[in-house]
Structure 1
Amino acid sequence: MKDTRQLIIVVEDDAGMRRALQRLLSVSGFETLAFASAEAFAHVNDPRVPYCLVLDVQLPGASGPQLYEQLVYPRPPAVFITSRDGPATRNAVTSAGGDELLSKPFLAEDLLDAISRAVLRGSPP
């Protein structure tokens, strides 16, 4: 039987946080693919268009906002997450075209709500 769950891609360098996000999204009914860096995500050869992205702002190499800026239009909606919230972080997310930013730690419900808001504003497949 074909899996018809919506795909959410997580790019988070902290392995524990990445696993926690995958578990949360999986039990919430989503399929997930997770990567430790923007570069690892760029090398994936998966033809599916994600329903939403969850991007850490501070990543090794290219940042979450830099990754999002490089994506081809139409881009999937994105939720950015950070442990270093501040004006520079908010400016980077906004400049990249992001609307949703959550500060770590955050509640599971807050992430799911942010995904819903991002998808409503965006144009998922």
Structure 2
Amino acid sequence: MVVGKQRVFVVEDDESLRPAIERLLTTAGFGVAGFTSAEAMLGDASHRGAGCIVTDLKLPGMSGFELIEDLQRHGVAAPVILITAHDAPGLHAEAARRGAAAYLAKPFLGTALLEAIRAVMVSGRP
């Protein structure tokens, strides 16, 4: 699949994981913008042009769920993939109920993230 200039925004406060995800996505042909918080991403006016947003659930300040709600409230249609190291029973269903297009528990394979991104960029949902 040719990705072209589709941009993926990565919201992850882990200073080792965010650059690793950015490298993976860049190597796969995506344009990437990385942010340490939801507030930082929302402060970047270009977030409305994101093809997909990958966000951690637990972030300093606004959580991944709160980010999804804010995007929905402001009419941003980019699908959101929620990632978390704090997986718990029922959390996947809660993420779907709140509007996450996909959910991955850490640690996840890079191929799983790429498959989820490609799926949601084509359909808006996996």
Q: Is this a same-fold pair by TM over 0.5?
A: yes
- The whole-number CA distance in structure 1 between the counterparts of 2:7 and 2:62 is 22
- Give the number of equivalent residue pairs: 120
Deviation of the 1:45 alpha carbon: 2.4
AA matched with 1:76: A
Q: Is the 8 A contact 1:66 1:96 kept in 2?
A: no
> Deviation string for 1:26-64 (max 9, x for gaps)?
000001111001111111122751111101111111111
AA matched with 1:101: Y
* TM-score of the superposed pair, with normalisation by structure 1: 0.86
> Cα RMSD over matched residues?
1.8
The unaligned stretches of length 5 or more in structure 2 are: none
- Corresponding position: 1:39 with 2:39: yes
- The whole-number CA distance in structure 2 between the counterparts of 1:8 and 1:83 is 20
Runs of 4+ in 1 over 4 A off after TM superposition: none
- Corresponding position: 1:12 with 2:12: yes
Aligned twin of 1:49: 49
Q: Is the 8 A contact 2:41 2:47 kept in 1?
A: no
Q: Is the 8 A contact 2:13 2:37 kept in 1?
A: yes
- Corresponding position: 1:82 with 2:84: yes
SS of residue matched to 2:45? coil
Q: Is the 8 A contact 2:9 2:47 kept in 1?
A: no
Q: Is the 8 A contact 1:6 1:50 kept in 2?
A: yes
The unaligned stretches of length 5 or more in structure 1 are: none
Match among 80, 101, 104 for residue 102 of structure 1: 104
**Percent of residue pairs identical:** 38
Deviation of the 1:78 alpha carbon: 1.4
